[in-house]
Amino acid sequence: MKQSFLIKYGEIGLKGKNRYLFEDALVRQIRYRLKNLSGAFHVHKAQGRIYVDCAEAYDFEEVVTGLQKVFGIVGVCPVYKTTDQGFDRLAEDVIAFVRETYGMSNHTFKVEARRSRKNYPLNSMEINCDLGGVILDAFPEMRVDVHNPDIMLHVEIREDIYIYAKIIPGLGGMPVGTNGKAMLLLSGGIDSPVAGYLIAKRGVSLEATYFHAPPYTSERAKEKVVDLARLIGAYAGPIKLNVVNFTDIQLEIYEKCPHEELTIIMRRYMMRIAEHFAGESKCLGLVTGESIGQVASQTMQSLLTTDAVCALPVYRPLIGFDKREIIEIAEKIDTYETSILPFEDCCTIFVAKHPVTKPRLERIEKSEIYLEETIDALVEKAIQTTEVIHVR
């Protein structure tokens, strides 16, 4: 018997004629995820299913954990794969499978056979009955329960024969690469990594832009953002990270504009620059970690004011989430501990004591006129000096 994994996918199974595109993307994502693990894996499609065959010694937990980070997978079933060598041999394999998976146990069970190869001598009902009898003989303490069994033992007769019982839950979502690319504004905080994760979950590849303000923000703060990009990349795949030096722009805004409007004007310049890089990389939208009312720059009026500078749609997957709910996801996806490391973020240095909470667009546009003579050159310089880091 050989160990394989049967990959269950939900939503992408429903995509009609484009189904194969989604399946191929899922196969690619699985290969990418397993690439650096010990062992040799053969990921392939067969009869409308995806299997991962394990050729060499491998670490079961490591493979399952890896597969549990691939969007598009609803369930991972560890499968025993055997060739058809007659019913007696199948019976032996099934007994070995149950013993190895559950030990000596008093579980209830049901056999659920499926025969897609019609020349097999027994039909599904007969396989269910005969294998049920075999299991009862081998494990006298087990009982059949057809309604609510502890063990649902699947036996699938295809070209080969597949035996499995456990379905380990996956993340769901759609395979990355099936829904275009978006530009994530990634800060060192809790929210934006979660926002990136949620967008990637819908099959979107990510690029990211981070604004730092040396020497007001440290190298450590930047490293933290690189680490966060790497953590999201565990789900979203490789991420190109643009690190923009934002110091001169911030100082200029600080000098020329009303202080209570600093944050909002700064946010508008971040959006403009992120949109520039988004255009270069053919991103179809911008993504931020904002949620309504969380801080002054995230009121409905503030969001309207920031959106006004963007031609691309701005996606805010956390818009209706409370901080508590965001933290819960951050913990689950393993970004929380990194996000709360205490390195200053460029926004916290130039914040006003009393920022406007209901900025009026015309008013903000008027304030930006003070920047008229200098800002284009500063933005151009920031773009030219941006450092690109490929995070894998």
> Which residue in the block uniquely carries the two structure tokens 């100082």?
251
Residue 211 interface partner, choices ligand ATP, Mg ion, none, CB cut-off 5-8 Å depending on type = ligand ATP
Least distance (Å) between residue 58 CB and ligand ATP: 37
Least distance (Å) between residue 344 CB and ligand ATP: 10
Taking CB under 5 A as the binding criterion, the range among 49-57, 180-188, 203-211, 375-383 that sits at the site for Mg ion is: 180-188
If the CB atoms of residues 108 and 357 are measured against ligand ATP, the closer one turns out to be 357
> Which residue in the block uniquely carries the two structure tokens 């930047």?
222
Give the one residue of 82, 128, 178, 187 binding Mg ion; rule: CB under 5 A. Answer: 187
Q: Please report, as residue ranges, which positions from 277 to 296 form the binding site for ligand ATP (by CB under 6 A).
A: 288-290, 294-295
Distances (CA, A) of 271 to 191, 298, 313: 17, 14, 11
DSSP H or E run through 77 = strand 75-82
Among all residues, whose Cβ is closest to ligand ATP? 189
Least distance (Å) between residue 122 CB and ligand ATP: 58
What are the φ and ψ backbone dihedral angles of 111, each rounded to 5 degrees?
-95, 130
Distances (CA, A) of 360 to 300, 309, 363: 11, 14, 5
Q: Please report, as residue ranges, which positions from 188 to 247 form the binding site for ligand ATP (by CB under 6 A).
A: 189-192, 209-211
Q: Quick one: DSSP state of residue 371?
A: G
Give the one residue of 50, 54, 346, 371 binding ligand ATP; rule: CB under 6 A. Answer: 346
If the CB atoms of residues 189 and 237 are measured against Mg ion, the closer one turns out to be 189
Relative to beta strand 75-82, strand 108-115 is unpaired
Measured at the alpha carbon of residue 55, what is the angle toward residues 173 and 238, in degrees to the nearest 5?
A: 40
Describe the crossing of helices 262-280 and 375-384 by its angle, rounded to 10 degrees.
Answer: 50
- Sign for the CA dihedral angle at 67, 328, 392, 313 comes to positive
Least distance (Å) between residue 193 CB and ligand ATP: 7
Distance in angstroms (rounded) separating the CA atoms of residues 282 and 276:
10
What DSSP assignment string belongs to 288-351? ----TTSSGGGSHHHHHHHHTT-SS-EE-TTTT--HHHHHHHHHHHT-HHHHTS----HHHHS-
Give the one residue of 189, 193, 233, 237 binding Mg ion; rule: CB under 5 A. Answer: 189
If the CB atoms of residues 128 and 298 are measured against ligand ATP, the closer one turns out to be 298
Distance in angstroms (rounded) separating the CA atoms of residues 192 and 314:
13
Taking CB under 6 A as the binding criterion, the range among 45-53, 162-170, 175-183, 184-192 that sits at the site for ligand ATP is: 184-192
Taking CB under 6 A as the binding criterion, the range among 128-136, 155-163, 186-194, 198-206 that sits at the site for ligand ATP is: 186-194
CB neighbours of residue 184 within 10 Å? 32
Taking CB under 5 A as the binding criterion, the range among 21-29, 139-147, 179-187, 273-281 that sits at the site for Mg ion is: 179-187
Taking CB under 6 A as the binding criterion, the range among 96-104, 158-166, 229-237, 342-350 that sits at the site for ligand ATP is: 342-350
Q: Please report, as residue ranges, which positions from 340 to 369 form the binding site for Mg ion (by CB under 5 A).
A: 345
CB neighbours of residue 303 within 10 Å? 20
Least distance (Å) between residue 367 CB and Mg ion: 22
Sort residue 39 into left (φ over 0), alpha (ψ -120 to 50) or beta.
left
- Please tell me whether residue 196 binds Mg ion under the rule CB under 5 A: no
Least distance (Å) between residue 345 CB and ligand ATP: 6
Least distance (Å) between residue 313 CB and ligand ATP: 14
Least distance (Å) between residue 311 CB and ligand ATP: 18
Residue 210 interface partner, choices Mg ion, ligand ATP, none, CB cut-off 5-8 Å depending on type = ligand ATP
If the CB atoms of residues 4 and 187 are measured against ligand ATP, the closer one turns out to be 187
Least distance (Å) between residue 260 CB and ligand ATP: 15
Distance in angstroms (rounded) separating the CA atoms of residues 22 and 19:
5
Distance in angstroms (rounded) separating the CA atoms of residues 246 and 243:
9
Enumerate binding residues for ligand ATP (CB under 6 A).
Answer: 185-187, 189-192, 209-211, 270, 288-290, 294-295, 297-298, 345-347
